[in-house]
Amino acid sequence: MIDESIFLNELTSNKHKEKAFSKLLDLYQERLYWHIRKLVITHENANDVLQNTFLRIYKSLPNFKQKSSLHTWMYKIAYNESLRFIEKNKKRQNVSIDDINNTYLENLASDTFFDSNDMQLRLHRILSELPKKQRQIFQMKYFDDLKFREIADILGIKEGTLKSSYYNSVKHIEKNILSVELFTKKQV
């Protein structure tokens, strides 16, 4: 485990900045990629947003106030970059939420990186039906294993509200996981 204060000093020093940033990429690139991927859905879009995220992180490091952990701060940047991307694309295309959910499921089922089984497909089908914010909260907690406090910082939501939303999602999933109609990759 790294000492965050020493690492931050290296990230902001002219002498060690490049080496420290390379280490930052090694430590967080994959985790941030999957966080972004759940929001923007496709591999290509996730790569674009990830690149923008690390550019923003690199440029913003001197202004990092350390009000949260470096990890939480980067997740927030990745989340905001994902939202910018989604908003920009939403303006280009006039699509309904049902179209977005269907696209999500189609992309997921055809994704070579998604090693699916019946329960995973059922889970993702249920997740696609949840309201966007509720789905994001569940994904950050369940898949990214973030603490409630970190998610609250990232989303700007009170921790109590966030916990309530998460546990409502869990109850909804538990109630519906076995009754969700399974689909095959060709049916999506």
Compute the distance between CA of residue 83 and CA of residue 93 in angstroms, rounded to an integer. 15
**58 or 106, higher pLDDT:** 58
Q: What is the mean pLDDT of residues 112-134?
A: 76
pLDDT, tens digit, for every residue of 161-171? 999 999 999 99
Q: Which architecture, in CATH terms, is 1-94?
A: Orthogonal Bundle (1.10)
Report residue 93's pLDDT band, with 50, 70 and 90 as the boundaries: low
Per-residue pLDDT for 18 more than 60?
A: yes
Rg (CA), the chain: 18
Domain boundaries, the chain: 1-94, 96-188
188, 124 contact by CB (below 8 A): no
Q: What is the mean pLDDT of residues 68-86?
A: 95
Same fold, 1-94 and 96-188: no
> Could you please report the per-residue DSSP string of 83-103?
HHHHHHHHHHS---HHHHHHH
> What pTM was estimated for this model as a whole?
0.77
Count of residues making up the chain: 188
- So what CATH class is 96-188? mainly alpha
